[in-house]
A and B are shown apart, each in its own frame.
Chain A
Amino acid sequence: MAASCVRTPIFQAFLLRHSKRVVPLLPHIRTLRYDVNHQEPTIDKSKLFGTIEEDDIRRFKPIKAATNDQSTSVFYSATLEKFINMVMKDGKKLAARKIVNEMLENIKMTQVEKFNRCENEKEKMEIECNPEIIFNQGLENIKPVLMLTPIIKGGVSYKVPVACPVHRQKFLAMKWLVESCRDRERKIPMGKKLAYEIFDAYKNEGKCVRRKQELLRQCEENRAFAHFRY
C-alpha cells in the first residue's frame, strides 16, 4: 500500500487499535529480507500444542524461518540466547556461547558447593541450584524501572525521567552486566567474571545494581521535569 497516510505513526497506532488483522503494518527497518506479511515463528512448545484459534493470523500468513539458535528443546532459553549475542564480539558465536556456558557452570558449581557444605536442612532447601533461575533473578535486579530521555523544550534539552519499556530494560540490564565485566582485570576469564557479577546482582549488591540505583537517583532528582513527557 503506497498511501502516504499509511506511513504516519498516528495512522499506524489507529490501525493497531482498530484493525489488528486487517491491514499489514509497514516495518520500520531499512531493508527486510522477508515480505511484510511474514509472521514470527512460534517456538514455545506449549503454545504449539495448545489451542490456536481458527481466525488466528498465523493460519493465513507465511511464517519466517526459525533461526539457527531457536529450538523447542528443554534447554532453549530466549533470554540466554539474547545474552550470548550481547557477549559476542566480531561474530564469534562459538566463543560467546562457551563463555556463557562457563558462567552457568560456575554459578552451578558455587551453589552446589554451598548446598553440600550446608548442614541446616531448612537453609539447604532455600539454596537455589538452577543457574538459569539465578541468572534471570540477577537480571531482574539490574533492570531499571525508569530512565532519562532528552526532551528539547524552548531550545533547552532537559533529561526527563520516563517509564522504561520492557525491551529497553532487558537490553540495559544485559549491557551493563557485560560492560562491567569487560572493565575488570583481564586475567580472570570472562565466564568467571560474569558469574561473580550475577551473584552480586542476585543479592542486590555489586556494580550493576549500583549503576541502576544511580540512574534511579538521577530520575528522582529530575522529578520536576516529569511533566515534560507530554
Chain B
Amino acid sequence: MAASMQTFSRVCSTKHPIKELIRWQITKCSALDRHKNGVHTSCRLLADVIPETFEQKTENKAEKISKAMRLYMERAKNYNSMIDKEIDEYEVGKRHLANIMGEDPDSFNQDDIDRAIKYLLPSGLFEKRARPQMKHPYEVFPQRKEALFGKDGRPHHYQFYTGKPNYHGLLHDINMKYEHLNATETELYKNGKMAEEEDKKLFLHGFQWIDHKTLTKQLIEEISPQEYNRFVLVLHRLLKHKLSYKEEEFLLKYSKKVMTMSQFRSIEKPLIDSDGREYSEATGRRKTSNATVTVYNNGSGQISINGQDLAYFKDIHQREQLLFPLQLVNKIDKVDIVATVEGGGSSGQTGAIRLALAHALCSFVDTDSIERLRLAGLLTKDPRTRERKKPGQPGARKKPTWKRR
C-alpha cells in the first residue's frame, strides 16, 4: 500500500490531483492479487480500460473493420491470382490436347475436350464424376461472392442481415414487380384500356422453372428445399398475373425449356426383307413373358403367334388387347404380324405382344400417331411384377392373425 501511495504521489505531482484520482481505478486488493512492479494489478489506469472519447471508440471499430476488409482483399487477391493461373494452365492444356488429337487448337471447344479425354484416358469407373475430366476452372472451383461490405463496415446489399441477401433480395424483387403490375392494372382499369391487354396473357409453353441446384448455383447461397418451394410459388404467382407479359424477360431468366417426351424417341426406319417387303421388329416384356414381333407393311391382316392363329389366345379380351394398337393407328387389316412369345401366363404374354407390336408399328406411322400411342400408354413397359413374400408373413401383404396381447 505504501508503495502504491508513493507512485500515486509521484504521478500527482505532474497532473491535476482530482482528475488523476478519477483516473485511478482503486479496487479492493485481495490477498490473492499478484504484485507487478510494486503496484497491485487490480489498480489499473482507467485509460487502459475505458476509452476517453467517442472518437477513440469508433476509431477502434474502424480499425477492426478495415482490418477485416484488408484480410478480405488479400484473400480475394490470392483467389483471383489462383484462378488466373488455373485458367492459363487450362488454355495451354487445351492447345496441347488439340495438338495431340491432331485438331485445330483455335476451334477446340469443351465437347472436343471431353471426347479427347475419354479417348486418351478411358476409365471403367461407374461413378462418372470420378473419371478423369478437364473442365474450365470456373466450373471446378466454387464461385465466391464479391465484397459484402465497404471500408466503413456498411454492407452493400440491403438484405445483408438476412444471412442470404441474394435469395431474399430476389424474392423481394419478384414481389415488387408483382405489386407494380397490380398498380399498372389499376391504372388501365381506370383509363378503360384493360380490354386491349386481354390477348397478351403470357403462357410459358414447354418451360419449367429452374431446379434447386441451378438456383443455388445462380445465387451462390445455400437454398433449402422449403426456400426453393417458396421461390417457385412466388414466381408462379407473378406468371399468373394478367400483365405478366411485361416481365417476360425476367421470368425466362428463371425458366428452362423442357423437351417434350416425343423428342426423346428416335424415328426408326423400317428394314427391307429379301423379298423386298418392308418390315420392322420389336421386343416386348410383361411380367415374365418375352415377345418378339415382326410387322410386315402392306399386308392383309394375317396374324401368327407361335405358329398359331389369333386363336392362340382363348379369351376374347386378350385378342382385343392385341388389336388395341392396330385399332388406334388404323392398321387392322393392313399389316401382317408374326409373333413369338415365351414365358409367363396368358395375360403376361398378351401384354408382352401388345407392347412389342406398338413399338414395331411406330416405324410405319406418322409422328401424330406415335404420340397417340404414347398417350394411350401403349409404348410404356408395364413395370408391375409379382411382389415378393416377406419373412414372418404368409404372403406379400398378408399378415398373421392380429392379437391384441
Contacts and interface: CB of A to CB of B under 8 A. Distances in A.
A73 B327 contact: yes
A60 B380 contact: no
Interface stretch (B25-33, B89-97, B126-134, B256-264): B256-264
Contact of B383 (A2, A34, A69): A34
Contacts of A97: 317
A130 B185 CA distance: 56
B377 A65 contact: yes
B323 interface: yes
B225 A6 contact: yes
Given A23-B232, A68-B347, A72-B324, A48 B383 contact: no
B178 interface: no
A73 B380 contact: no
Interface string B286-321: 000000000000000000000000000001011011
Interface in B229-244: 229, 232-233, 236-237, 240
Interface residues of B, number: 46
Nearest to A14: B233
B229 A5 contact: yes
Contacts, number: 113
Given A22-B236, A65-B380, A5 B226 contact: yes
Given A33-B383, A42-B375, A73-B323, A60 B260 contact: yes
Given A3-B229, A18-B236, A60 B375 contact: no
Contacts of A11: 229
Nearest to B237: A18
B378 A66 contact: yes
A38 B203 CA distance: 23
A55 B203 CA distance: 8
Interface in A15-49: 18-19, 22-23, 33-34, 38, 41-43, 45, 48-49
A1 interface: yes
21 contacts: A1-B229, A3-B226, A19-B232, A22-B236, A41-B377, A43-B377, A48-B375, A52-B375, A54-B205, A54-B206, A60-B259, A60-B261, A62-B380, A63-B374, A64-B377, A64-B380, A65-B381, A68-B347, A71-B324, A73-B324, A97-B317
Interface of A: 1-3, 5-6, 11, 14, 18-19, 22-23, 33-34, 38, 41-43, 45, 48-49, 52, 54-55, 58-73, 75, 94, 97
